[in-house]
């Protein structure tokens, strides 16, 4: 893998691409980094993300910007003072599009902060409009959701919080159908973000950023079951000599 210096998004700062194929088009759902507003106590060098955008293409050369699909101000449970709309994902089931996103929750009285929850917004098309659920998914505390639907129709959600977690989703795609469990046999340290699972020829590939040395590299593990146990299998993309941190990614067939 060589240098990639041909960004498809040129008019804003974006990150965390979740690529999905819907109706014969490639869609990329991205987070959106903005300059930290002054006077709000935010770190100027840190992530400042208040909304999400979606882009699509048929030929992967010409891209359409469908605009903002969800803002932190549209979600009742999000603490909009934290600008914490981080890495999202989107998946289709039965003609509905389910957009999953992490954000800091409104803190309870006396608490220092609310902690990260994962919410769901629903639409009738990939471009939206999306309507957010009034509450985050109960039982999840973490970031960077990835949702996978197996061939038998069972949906799973993967997310990060120091480790990689997995849980089954109910048919409504809005609630857990099992307790989250930490995925075994992964590295004990350096697991920060960005899991992505896909299936190929009966094997399940869990791809993930991992800090082995100084910065992240993209690695993968293999299992016979979506919930594991997984076995670490190799490195897809080594850490960058530039010192760039994130290898947040997505993998699809198109």
Per-residue pLDDT tens for 15-69?
A: 899 999 999 999 999 999 989 888 877 888 888 999 999 999 999 999 999 999 9
Q: What is the pLDDT of residue 25?
A: 98
Q: Secondary structure of 154-219 in the HEC alphabet? A: CEEEEEECCCEEEEEECCCCCCECCCCEECCCCCCCCCCCCCEEEEECCEEEEEEEEECCCCEEEE
Name which residue leads in pLDDT, 188 or 3: 188
CA distance 136 to 116: 9
Stretch 74-85: mean pLDDT: 96
Q: What is the pLDDT of residue 242?
A: 80
Question: How long is the chain?
Answer: 254
Name which residue leads in pLDDT, 100 or 238: 100
φ/ψ of 72, rounded to 5, equals -60, -25
Which ranges in the chain are annotated with CATH 2.115.10.20? 1-136, 146-253
Identify which of 119, 67, 114 has the alpha carbon closest to the alpha carbon of residue 88.
Answer: 119
Give Dmax over CA atoms of the chain in angstroms. 53
108 token code pair: 């309870």
Decide if 193 is catalytic: yes
Decide if 62 is catalytic: no
Of 50, 193, 216, 219, which is the active-site residue?
A: 193
Q: Percentage of residues in the chain with pLDDT exceeding 70?
A: 98
Asked whether residue 115 carries a pLDDT value surpassing 50, the answer given is: yes
CA distance from start to end of the chain: 19
Q: How confident is the model at residue 244 (pLDDT cuts 50, 70, 90)?
A: confident
Q: What is the pLDDT of residue 1?
A: 42
Stretch 218-247: mean pLDDT: 91
Name every residue whose Cβ is closer than 8 Å to that of residue 22 and which is 6 or more positions away in sequence: 92, 97, 126
138 token code pair: 């109960």
Task: Quote helix, strand, coil % in the chain, to nearest 5.
Answer: 0, 45, 55
pTM listed for this prediction: 0.95
Of 16, 50, 92, 219, which is the active-site residue?
A: 16
CATH 2.115.10.20, applies to 1-136: yes
Stretch 151-167: mean pLDDT: 97
| Mean pLDDT computed over every residue of the chain | 93
Q: What is the pLDDT of residue 3?
A: 57
CA distance 120 to 193: 19
Task: Write the CATH number of the domain with boundaries 146-253.
Answer: 2.115.10.20
């Amino acid at each position: 893998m060589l240098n990639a210096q041909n960004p498809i998004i040129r008019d804003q700062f974006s990150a965390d691409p979740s690529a999905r194929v819907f109706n014969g088009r490639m869609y990329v759902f991205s987070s959106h980094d903005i300059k930290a507003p002054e006077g709000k106590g935010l770190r100027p060098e840190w992530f400042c993300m208040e909304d999400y955008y979606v882009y699509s293409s048929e030929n992967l050369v010409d891209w359409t910007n469908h605009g903002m699909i969800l803002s932190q101000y549209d979600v009742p449970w999000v603490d909009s003072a934290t600008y914490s709309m981080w890495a999202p994902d989107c998946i289709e089931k039965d003609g509905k599009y389910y957009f999953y996103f992490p954000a800091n929750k409104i803190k309870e009285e006396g608490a220092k902060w609310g902690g990260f929850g994962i919410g769901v917004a629903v639409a009738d098309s990939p471009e939206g409009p999306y309507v957010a659920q009034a509450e985050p998914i109960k039982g999840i505390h973490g970031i960077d959701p990835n949702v996978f639907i197996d061939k038998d129709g069972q949906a799973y959600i993967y997310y990060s919080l120091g480790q990689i977690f997995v849980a089954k989703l109910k048919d409504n795609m809005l609630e857990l159908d099992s307790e989250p469990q930490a995925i075994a046999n992964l590295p004990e340290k350096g697991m920060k973000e960005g899991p992505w699972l896909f299936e190929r020829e009966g094997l399940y590939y869990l791809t993930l950023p991992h800090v082995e040395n100084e910065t992240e590299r993209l690695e993968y593990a293999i299992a016979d079951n979506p919930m594991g146990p997984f076995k670490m299998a190799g490195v897809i993309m080594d850490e960058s000599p530039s010192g760039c941190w994130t290898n947040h990614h997505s993998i699809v067939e198109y």
